[in-house]
Amino acid sequence: MPQILTNNKSLAEAVTKMLNSLHSIYPGIKVAPIPNYEDEDFTVEIVIPKNLSIDQVEEICHKECIKIEDEYDLFILPKVIYEE
């Protein structure tokens, strides 16, 4: 299998795993891919309801991203914002 397909499959698997975990913790969140800022493998915007603490959600998101980085050797950057 070509290296690029393997990398894309790993990235898709890693992102799916992370987002499923976040959705199980915070069922009301919305997620969308956004352009990368620098050299991360994937950047995701996470939109949360205003009744959640943005600091707490960011902390959980970063913990989930660290798990993914350790397991897949991929860097996913979460950007957490409040819904409008």
- pLDDT value of position 64: 95
**Cα–Cα distance for residue pair 5/64, rounded to 1 Å:** 24
- pLDDT value of position 65: 94
Q: Give the tens place of pLDDT for each residue, 52-66.
A: 999 999 999 999 999
CB contact set of 31 (below 8 Å; sequence gap of 6+) = 19, 22, 23, 44, 45, 46, 47
- Please report the domains of the chain, with CATH numbers, ordered by start residue: 3-82 (3.30.460.10)
Average pLDDT over residues 19-40: 94
In this prediction the pTM is 0.85
